[in-house]
A = this chain, B = another copy of it.
Amino acid sequence: MSTGGRAGANLGAVRSHNAALVLGLLRDAGAEGISRLELAERTGLTPQAVSKITARLREQGFAAQAGRRASTGGKPRTVLRLVPEAGHAVGVHLDRDELRAVLVDLDGAVVAQRRAELDLGAGATTVLGVLARAVEELVGQALGLGDDGALAGAATLLGVGVALPGPLDHVRGVLHRVTGFPEWDGFALRDVLQARLGVAVVVDKDTNAAALGLSVRGEGGSGSFAYLHLGTGLGAGLVIGGSVHRGARTGAGEFGHQVIQLDGPLCECGNRGCVEVLCLGAVGRGEPAEAARVLGVAAANLVGLLDIDAVLLGGRTVAGAPQVYVRGVGDVLAARARREGMPGGAVPVRVAQGGEGLVAEGAAQLLLGRLFGRGDA
């Protein structure tokens, strides 16, 4: 039926919804802060309702007064700001050969971080040991642990987000398979890690985490964008209407195996003419311009299908020659926009900022998002 399992709203739901909304606006306002009346305007709530909501948030320690604005002829507005230290989250980027963990505060700012060499093929016990130790050290030094040395002792810790390559089930937190490492097939990473660490754990694809991180930072505008990652492989993370689009089976963003050349060269996925094989082939032959053009054609397909607002490029290969890719992809999109007479012109193409820590920071946002009303089912 068309009306899927949507939930009814009661008063508790209203409260948390509005609180999350206000908290999100406080975060977006950053160090400048934001006044109650501005919050009222943006939410559509009355100023009095905002006062009550912010009073609750101040009691809970999430918000604080921070100076006042210049007067415009009357009593000056009091400025409110987020208290970043009121909450923390750990984000872990589990890659094929290294592990990168960050501890961020409510603002998304990195408080502490760690790096470790790692071999994903070394088996679950070894990998989980390295991961758990890294997280415990990170949290222990920055926030302090409980008397028993447990992570749960860190009161402000919301949980741990783990991002890794390869298909997986975001909802159940189970890996399907990690390309090249069949021993991870069907591994219930979320539950195992949750039991071991004693705090909430969320698992997601690396490209989704990167896209989420970019979304929170406000890159890609307020609406929809695609993050295209060109490194050892070619993948994408999609943000539609402000939230990460994963699809029913967390399979969305399968960008690299989009076929753009019927009966083209064989790809390792078994298909022919995938963007990945064409693009990486051009990179391998030392033809970045051709790689960018091919990438641009695939990006244009994506833009046409979803009508997104921006395309962000990332990954080692892009970082090696950013201008070539931005221009190459941009040219294809511009040509298409010109031909179709699209209102507003072509979709902008940019290099995703954030570099090496992007995925880990985005993984941490998987937890923070719940506070700010981006809870993902």
Residues of A within 8 A of B (CB): 1-11, 13-14, 17-18, 21, 24-25, 27-28, 42-45, 49, 167, 169, 176-177, 215-218, 222-224, 236, 238, 240-242, 245-255, 257-262, 264, 269-271, 273, 278, 294, 297, 300-302, 304-309, 336, 339-344, 372-373
Q: Beyond A44-B8, A249-B307, is A262–B222 a contact (Cβ under 8 Å)?
A: no
Contacts of A8 in B (CB 8 A): 17-18, 21, 43-45, 49
Q: Is the CB of B176 within 8 A of A343?
A: yes
> Known contacts being A305-B258, A307-B249, is A2 close to B28, with CB within 8 Å?
yes
List, sorted by A's number, 30 A–B pairs whose CB atoms are closer than 8 Å: A1-B222, A3-B242, A4-B223, A6-B242, A8-B44, A9-B13, A9-B14, A10-B14, A11-B14, A13-B14, A14-B14, A169-B343, A224-B247, A238-B305, A240-B245, A245-B306, A247-B307, A248-B308, A248-B309, A249-B342, A249-B344, A252-B307, A253-B305, A254-B304, A254-B307, A255-B305, A260-B260, A260-B262, A260-B273, A305-B306
- Whether A247 and B301, one on each chain, are in contact in the complex, defined by CB atoms closer than 8 angstroms, is no
CB distance from A256 to the nearest CB of B (A): 9
Q: Which residues of B contact A249 (CB under 8 A)?
A: 307, 342-344
For residue A27, which residues in chain B have a CB less than 8 angstroms away from its CB?
3
Q: Is the CB of B307 within 8 A of A251?
A: yes
Question: Does the CB pair B24–A177 fall under 8 Å?
Answer: no
List, in ascending order, chain B residues with CB within 8 A of A246's CB: 307
Task: Tell me which of A24, A254, A273 has the highest count of chain B C-beta atoms within 10 A of its own C-beta.
Answer: A254
For A216, A252, A255, A372, the residue with the greatest tally of chain B CB atoms inside 10 Å of its CB is: A252
Please, which residue of chain B has its CB at the minimum distance from the CB of A336? B271
**Chain B residues positioned under 8 Å from A300 (CB to CB):** 259
> Separation in Å of the A6 CB from the closest CB of chain B?
6
| A278 to chain B: closest residue by CB | B262
Would you call the interface of chain A mostly helix, strand, loop, or mixed? loop
Q: Which residues of B contact A264 (CB under 8 A)?
A: 262
Top 9 A-B residue pairs of the complex, sorted by shortest distance between their CB atoms:
A247-B307, A8-B43, A254-B304, A251-B307, A3-B24, A8-B45, A4-B222, A252-B307, A1-B28
